[in-house]
Chains A and B, each alone.
Chain A
Amino acid sequence: MNGRKVSLLIVTLLILFSMVLTACGGKTETPAPVAPGEQPAEQPAGKKQVEVFSWWTGGGEAAGLDAMIKVFNQKYPDIEFINAAVAGGAGTNARAVLATRLQAGDAPDSWQGHAGQELIGTYVAAGQLEPLNFLYEANGWLDVMPETLIPLISQDGNIYSVPVNIHRANVLWYNPTVLEENDVEVPTTLPEFFAAMDKLQAAGMDAPLALGEQWTVMHLMETIFLASLGSDAYNALWDGTKSWADPDVAKAISDFEKVLTYTNSDSASLSWQDASQLVVDGDAAFNIMGDWAEGFFKELGKEPMTEFGWAPVPGTDGTFQFLSDSFVLPTGAPNRDAAIAWLTVAGSKEGQDAFNPVKGSIPARSDGDKALYDVYLQSAMDDWAKDVVVGSLTHGVVANDSWKSEIDTALGLYLLEKDGKTFQSALVAAFDASGKPAPAPVTSSLSGDVEVFSWWTGGGEAAGLDAMIEVFGQKYPNINFINAAVAGGAGTNARAVLATRLQAGDAPDSWQGHAGQELIGTYVAAGQLEPLNFLYEANGWLDVMPETLIPLISQDGNIYSVPVNIHRANVLWYNPTVLKDAGVAVPTSLDEFFTAMDTLKAAGMDAPLAMGEQWTVMHLMETILLASLGSDAYNGLWDGSKSWGDADVADALADFVKVLSYTNSDSASLSWQDASQLVVDGDAAFNIMGDWAEGFFKELGKEPMTEFGWAPVPGTDGTFQFLSDSFVLPTGAPHRDAAIAWLTVAGSKEGQDAFNPVKGSIPARSDGDKALYDVYLQSAMDDWAKDVVVGSLTHGVVANDSWKSEIDTALGLFLLDLDVENFQTSLVAACVASGPCK
């Protein structure tokens, strides 16, 4: 019996001991977290991988890819490149495999796709891609890629791919000998083109224009449409600003019909190579085909300029109709840093100059090294740098796959019947069915989930949040809003839950936080937040938010949150009747404040200033510091430019001690509501509290101006000590696009004007609709627009949580002994330990 007990005990102890050891030991080995955004090259060496998916498995394409991988390996020797190329079907197989993998949640780190709507319509619409604007900005790509290219590979201002190579679609290939023999000039306009072909037909060449299977017909059509309509109208057809029913589209169709009369009757049986070969063989004079034909001609051993020549498709000179292979960054890429490294190489001069000479295309950058390219490509590079860029239909730039397939069907029918009118109405129908931008804001095609974390679970806050969610739902009907609000403890519980989730790597898409250092000191310091400057710029928020606000919510020039509402901390609430009875005016300076309270005390009111539990004491302290020091010195305390040991800080603390002498002795047992109520009940004359007190007074049924009044805390007129709830964008948000959509709504006039009147706060934007707000809030909006903005300590704007908690402890100790000198020493120490002081 005893032996069994002992052996069991020993076994148990051994297990326990080993568990404890493993638990401790394992943790000590955890590597320091790597801040996102760091250059992957600087990261500690380790087994890192990047899996890149493409359909480049043969010929110049595979060789070009290998050349670019070589460049990548030189730059990032620590990252193992996994070439997940899938052969067959010119990408069809690869796209099917990719779709299967994406559905299974097994995304590669990057994949190849035709730049433009083929990618956007498929993957962006499914929320699979991250915008790459940050990469373009970081690498200066916007300066080296043609300006007119960017809108074609973007959606709603977001760029979604890195184009590696560029091909030109609108190239007219001709046989110089044939033209010379028939005394035909290279045509530069459609009428010249028709005249030239008439001449050739008259000379006995039945089909001067070589054409192949149906996709080459579509290719021909897009170039003729471009020639007939011009680049502006052509672009407008695709972005929905021009109707397909317009008469000039009918004219383009008739031009196209005319072009078809010059083509060979056996086109349906010819591949594009067959059709192109007709030109170099002298069986046709012209062929309209993308510039990959040049590689084919060289393979056939033909000499440029003598055996084949090229020009822009007649009528499209000065326009570069492009297509491009590009790489993307999937949301939730398994190795995001490595994927970004790959994209950086794919967009670099070095990478593109390795790939393109081998593949026979030109770099998307306009600064490629021309010496590496052949004579045709050099001329294309010149045009690429100076031409207007428009996109190709056949090769996925301007239309999504659905739209393109409907156009393809309509074209096939048209080729059978040659009925221009029916064709045009079919094109209109195709636009309505698949091309039309979704109603209202274009972004509403976004779908999926967005999980927003907050502690707004009751009262006006929850109602305000619901109102804003409603606005969001109208703008983004396809996004499922998950309201992950955590109740309790005025946010304490929520923050603890959030910290746990972040440590477990399970971040929500956006969360609520007090704007300023509370967010910055905690989450930015831990590398958890993305800067939002791009959002501010895109939406023009910098123009509608007070200039002095921005530095308070920024760190090193980066803005990290979108403030939704604004509360004012430095408000003095008073009881007009009590003041009137005592013959006291509303004080405007600290001295007047003291005199007023002395008068009230003399009249028998023991505690003219109502105060509550400890956080309200800190709230009182920050307003008195501001009043005593002024806004510049107050700001200096928090950014480290002013010492806490200065004599005027000591004076301010002495003022604070004096203020405390007018407060109620039972403050520790009162909540802020209890303290505020003392004023409206006439038990105290004053209370210094944030402007949420106004909502409380209204709940009590009190009348503004008669039963309660307000003024800036004495000595702080012209200064707006603010606090704000704001939303952030975490790095690696599971649904980044949807999160950005949420932030866009949170920062919009509509969103803020939905939230704030219900919550009882003012919008962070200065252009809110005043009619929606009550009399106090209207006065606060006026002040917000014109006052100097400074931040609140108690509510997380000016100090990070660690610093604030040390100040809180120092304040608690100070309240026990009221020893100013000791308090000041602690404040100096707190600033050194957790603030910016040295």
Chain B
Amino acid sequence: MLRLECPSCGPRNAAEFRYGGEYNPRPAPSSSATDNEWTRYLYLRQNSMGVQTEWWYHRSGCGMWFLVERDRRTNQVTRSWQWTVDMDDDARQETT
């Protein structure tokens, strides 16, 4: 079974966590996005054949929501870290 590293608790079995979907920051405020951008945010995902940044929730543990970088072909996890505000800022910069 996959092992994930909770930034607070350390390496744990994947069954302790809940997958939270692809990292997908919300356009802020929602009124600032065009219809296209808003549709992408709601319904489209990268779904990359390769490394993905995704959310995980330590449901049976400390209750931390954190991010993980995982290669979806090999299921290898490269890193896990707690969200910081500059992440979303950087992501928004990239899309504009």
Q: Do A and B bind each other?
A: no
